[in-house]
Amino acid sequence: MSAGGAGGEAKGGYPPQTIMAIGIVGGLAGIYLGNFMPPAYSFFGGIGAICATVWGADAVRRVASYGLGTGVPSIGMLALGMGILASLFGLSIGGVAGPIVAFVVAAIIGGVIGALANKVIGMGIPIMEQAMVEIAGAGTLVILGLSVVIAGSFDYTSVVQYVVANGYIALIFIIGGMGILHPFNASLGPDEKQDRTLMLAVEKGAIALIIAGFASSLHEGLMAAGLNMFVGIVIWYFAFSKHYALIKRDAYAVVGTGLLPSSEELQ
């Protein structure tokens, strides 16, 4: 049985093309706004990362519904791995066009990996090549967006100094990957719904913005970091409330179980 319980491409009310447009346009717009506006507005990079996270999560749910199962976490980590390589390469040679160059390079890498997965490994998933292109592109935009939050720009030197050299790139790798892989991994099953899964992606992307905002305090100062975190908290609260409402909509019942019994109580 497939991870999604259907053995085929996942369906939803929002077409893939619409979500892809949101991810690409919103992601790049947020990255460029965060770069060119004053440092206090670097949270725009995080908003762009949230748009890309939603796109990546939707691509994961579509390809994973064919039966990846335990491969869902792996494909999320793969997305950010491709994203780091493409981001640093694009920013190092692209200048102002760095994010666009990185995005194109990521798409090429994703296409090659998708072809290898189907043609060499023999996974036989019809949308594997397209999905890997999308996931690589989304992962790259997440890396770039969160890097802008921390460094205040996508200047290659600044990103290396304030994101890579101090190890924050590992933090971005984990929180960005979780935003892309976790929504479907947490919602998979025969009752998985696209809107509920993608709202969870917004919530996870907001958490990433909060964490990146905290990390930005060492470079951008407490005021800018506080604004980054505040914007992230507001988005998180909205997304969490909406996701909980969708859970109650889809669940047969939502009950409180209380604390787990202690070993003494079980005896």
User: What local confidence, expressed as pLDDT, does residue 1 receive?
Assistant: 29
3-state secondary structure 101-157: HHHHHHHHHHHHHHHHHHHHCCCCCCCHHHHHHHHHHHHHHHHHHHHHHHHCCCCHH
For residue 181, pLDDT over 70 is answered with yes
Between residues 171 and 119, the one the model is more confident about = 171
The first and second tokens of residue 198, run together, are 């993608």
| pLDDT, the chain, mean | 88
| CA 206, chain centre distance (Å) | 10
pLDDT in tens, 235-263: 999 999 999 999 999 888 878 777 777 77
Instruction: Tell me what pLDDT residue 207 has.
Output: 97
pLDDT average, residue stretch 162-169: 93
Q: Give residue 222's pLDDT band: very low, low, confident or very high (50, 70, 90).
A: confident
In the chain, what are the domain boundaries? 16-248
Supply the pLDDT for residue 6. 45
Which pLDDT tens digit goes with each residue over 89-119? 999 998 899 999 999 999 999 999 888 888 8
- Res 4: pLDDT: 40
**Model pTM?**
0.89
Residue range 29-72, pLDDT digits in tens: 999 999 999 888 999 999 999 999 999 999 999 888 877 666 67
